[in-house]
């Protein structure tokens, strides 16, 4: 008869540790890091708000510009609302551009049937460029609201 092979205590601890690590990695792969798993296409961060000039909705687009020059933009709806899905967290400079980025004289009404634009007034020219807009925002994780009242 063969004598049973005995495992040394230090070997048994290493084996147990390795099994524990493999189990934890397997569980993470099944469940995901967030605990409930990430749904494909789910919005993690989102910035929404309204752009107004006085009591009127503004028409055009909101643009977030990051320090590396990356831009994210959203069209402004007829009621002045916008939504930027999944923006990376961090500080951004913000500008508000009129139709197609064109500068339209302050207070000019934009027709409801203008291509891609909702009803509203054009933003003042100074807001069309981040260098002159004076608008900044700190994007954080999650859904947040950033209203932009122009003057």
Identify whether residues 33 and 96 lie together within a single domain. no
- In a domain? residue 1: no
Helix (H, G, I), strand (E, B) or coil at 41: coil
Task: Indicate the pTM of the whole model.
Answer: 0.62
Task: Tell whether 84 and 129 lie within a shared domain.
Answer: yes
Beta bridge partners of 144: 47
Token duo for residue 132: 């002159």
pLDDT digits (tens, 9 = 90+) for 21-60: 444 433 333 333 333 344 555 668 899 999 999 999 999 9
pLDDT tens digits, 70-89 = 999 999 999 999 999 999 99
Q: Is 2 part of any domain? A: no
Residue 100 belongs to domain with CATH number: 2.60.40.1120
Q: Is 80 exposed, middle or buried (0-12, 13-18, 19+ CB in 10 A)?
A: buried
**Residues with Cβ within 8 Å of residue 79, at least 6 apart in sequence:** 50, 57, 118
HSE on the CB side for 90, CA within 13 Å? 14
Rounded CA separation 84/42 (Å): 13
Based on the fold, state whether residues 31 and 85 are members of the same structural domain. no
Q: Quick one: 20 and 79 in the same domain?
A: no
Instruction: Identify whether residues 61 and 123 lie together within a single domain.
Output: yes
Residue 111, strand partner residues: none
Distance, in Å, from the CA atom of 75 to the CA atom of 81, rounded to the nearest integer, reads 9
Determine, yes or no, domain membership for 3. Answer: no
Residues 100 and 28 both lie in one domain: no
Using DSSP, state whether 47 is helix, strand or coil.
strand
Domain assignment present for residue 142? The answer is: yes
Are 56 and 29 members of one domain? no
State the total domains in the chain.
Answer: 2
For residue 56, the enclosing domain spans 46-150
Same domain, 15 and 76: no
7 φ/ψ angles, rounded to the nearest 5 degrees: -95, 130
Whether residue 77 sits in one domain with residue 34: no
- Examine the domain organization and report whether 144 and 105 are in the same domain: yes
Q: What is the pLDDT of residues 109-143, one digit of tens each?
A: 555 544 345 578 999 999 999 999 999 999 999 99
């Amino acid at each position: 008869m063969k004598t049973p092979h005995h495992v040394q205590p230090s070997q048994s601890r290493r084996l147990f540790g390795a099994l524990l690590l493999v189990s934890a990695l397997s569980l993470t792969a099944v469940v995901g890091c967030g605990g409930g798993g990430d749904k494909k296409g789910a919005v993690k961060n989102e910035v929404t708000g309204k752009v107004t000039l006085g009591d009127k909705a503004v028409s055009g687009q909101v643009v977030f510009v990051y320090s590396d020059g990356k831009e994210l933009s959203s069209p402004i709806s007829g009621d002045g609302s916008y939504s930027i899905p999944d923006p990376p967290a961090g500080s951004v400079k913000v500008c508000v551009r009129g139709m197609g980025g064109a500068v339209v004289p302050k207070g000019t009404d934009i027709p409801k049937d203008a291509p891609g634009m909702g009803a509203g007034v054009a933003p003042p020219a100074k807001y069309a460029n981040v260098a002159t807009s004076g608008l900044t925002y700190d994007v954080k994780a999650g859904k947040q609201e950033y209203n932009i009242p122009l003057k």
